[in-house]
């Protein structure tokens, strides 16, 4: 028989389960301060790290060897250093690409799996908004660098949009969550006024508290409002969405795109930053596009639908918005459409 043998497939199974344990390791390492300590002191030894963190020597050494096995850290003589770029990704909370809190989101949403079998049988939902405060706060915290990554890494590839933001005007952040996009854009573009809307009350409260803390409340505000309920016309220069389109109730998506289009000034831009569902078998089996398919899996019972890029283009066209610029970042599709 051709194809992989049973032992190879057995290994594949363990490889998959290994990802679960590596996710736990990411979070344990973050909570203990391991990644920050290694980023701060490259070539630190296992004993040096356990002395610094006050952790058990053997446990610490095993954690580090496991992190090495997953290529998160490298050997540096007798010591350890973060693997390329992982100092920034895991070890520096202030860095643009810091994603050290993302594992925690996945561990918390893993609780949803306990009810999957029941929900598969009765078709019931457990919406994003029904999750507890710990989860809502973890999502805001884990995603807070996305707008920063967008503005530092993606925006230079979207010159027309960047020029528009630099000129100022009013920005609408759809599904603003904890308000990090509002803060990022307002701080980067001082002539911009920023309004966020979201249907999740705790997120709106967090966003307004954050805006006050950053001294931005005079030109930024978060409102408890479903985007489909926007009544403004020709009001905004730019509308942004970070990981929101796939979270909209599927039946309201056309109305949402129409409401956003209506609320934009002529020539205004709608920015979609989201996962798009793979459209080929190859993309379904290849990272990073495979992760968008996983997002549909791990957010399935929230009622979410991860649209294909083709479906997004149709929603835009039906709302009278024309694609002006488009790019990708890791698993994310970024589309800028103009009214
Ligand atoms: C994954 S969260 C992303 C939040 C934020 N953009 C970020 O990147 O942290 C998706 C957000 O969309 C919001 N949302 C879902 N449906 C909405 C609607 N109809 N109108 C406004 N916001 C909505 C959710 O409440 C949630 O806060």
pLDDT values of the chain reduced to their tens digit, one per residue, 339 residues? 689 999 999 999 999 999 999 999 999 999 999 999 999 999 999 999 999 999 999 999 999 999 999 999 999 999 999 999 999 999 999 999 999 999 999 999 999 999 999 999 999 999 999 999 999 999 999 999 999 999 999 999 999 999 999 999 999 999 999 999 999 999 999 999 999 999 999 999 999 999 999 999 999 999 999 999 999 999 999 999 999 999 999 999 999 999 999 999 999 999 999 999 999 999 999 999 999 999 999 999 999 999 999 999 999 999 999 999 999 999 999 999 999
Letter string b/e over residues 88-113, b meaning 16 or more CB atoms within 10 A of that residue's CB: bbbbbeebebbbbbbbbbbebbeebe
3-state secondary structure 96-113: CCCCCCHHHHHHHHHHHH
Cα of 306 vs centre of ligand 1, distance in Å, is: 14
Cα of 102 vs centre of ligand 1, distance in Å, is: 17
Which pLDDT score is estimated for 2?
A: 85
Rounded to whole angstroms, the Cα distance separating 141 from 102 reads: 8
Which pLDDT score is estimated for 1?
A: 66
Q: Which residues contact 247 (CB under 8 A, 6 or more apart)?
A: 128, 175, 299, 302, 304
pTM of the predicted model as reported, rounded to 2 decimal places: 0.95
Rounded to whole angstroms, the Cα distance separating 255 from 156 reads: 31
Q: Best mutation site among 173, 202, 207, 247 for ligand 1, i.e. most ligand atoms within 8 A of its Cβ?
A: 247
Letter string b/e over residues 192-203, b meaning 16 or more CB atoms within 10 A of that residue's CB: bbbbbbbbbebb
Domains of the chain: 6-100 (1.10.10.10), 114-338 (3.40.50.150)
Question: CA dihedral in degrees (212, 213, 219, 222; nearest 10)?
Answer: -60
Rounded to whole angstroms, the Cα distance separating 324 from 193 reads: 23
Q: Whose CA is nearest to atom 19 of ligand 1?
A: 226
Which pLDDT score is estimated for 282?
A: 98
Rounded to whole angstroms, the Cα distance separating 290 from 99 reads: 19
């Amino acid at each position: 028989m051709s194809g992989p043998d049973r032992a190879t497939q057995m290994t594949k199974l363990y490889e998959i389960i290994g990802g679960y344990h590596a996710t736990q390791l990411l979070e344990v390492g973050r909570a203990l301060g391991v990644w920050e300590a290694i980023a701060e002191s490259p070539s630190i030894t296992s004993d040096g790290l356990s002395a610094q963190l006050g952790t058990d020597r053997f446990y610490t050494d095993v954690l580090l060897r496991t992190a090495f096995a997953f290529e998160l850290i490298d050997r540096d003589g007798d010591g350890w250093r973060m693997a390329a770029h992982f100092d920034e990704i895991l070890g520096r909370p202030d860095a643009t690409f810091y994603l050290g809190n993302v594992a925690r989101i996945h561990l918390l949403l893993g609780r949803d799996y306990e009810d999957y079998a029941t929900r598969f049988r009765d078709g019931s939902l457990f919406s994003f908004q029904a999750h507890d405060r710990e989860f809502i706060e973890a999502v805001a915290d884990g995603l807070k660098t996305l707008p920063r990554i967008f503005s530092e890494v993606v925006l230079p590839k979207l010159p027309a949009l960047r020029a528009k933001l630099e000129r100022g005007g009013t920005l609408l952040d759809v599904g603003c969550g904890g308000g990090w996009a509002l803060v990022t854009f307002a701080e980067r573009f001082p002539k911009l006024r920023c309004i966020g809307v979201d249907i999740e009350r705790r997120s709106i409260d967090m966003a307004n508290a954050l805006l006050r803390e950053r001294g931005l409340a005079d030109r930024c505000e978060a409102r408890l409002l479903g985007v489909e309920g926007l009544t403004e016309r020709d009001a905004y220069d730019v509308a942004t969405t970070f990981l929101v389109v796939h979270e909209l109730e599927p039946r309201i998506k056309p109305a949402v795109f129409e409401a956003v289009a209506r609320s934009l000034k002529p020539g205004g831009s709608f920015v979609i930053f989201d996962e798009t569902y793979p459209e080929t078998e190859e993309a379904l089996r290849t990272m990073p596009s495979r992760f968008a398919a996983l997002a549909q899996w791990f957010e399935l019972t929230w009622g979410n639908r991860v649209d294909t890029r083709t479906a997004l283009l149709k929603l835009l066209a039906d709302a009278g918005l024309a694609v002006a610029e488009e790019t990708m970042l890791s698993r994310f599709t970024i589309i800028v459409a103009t009214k």
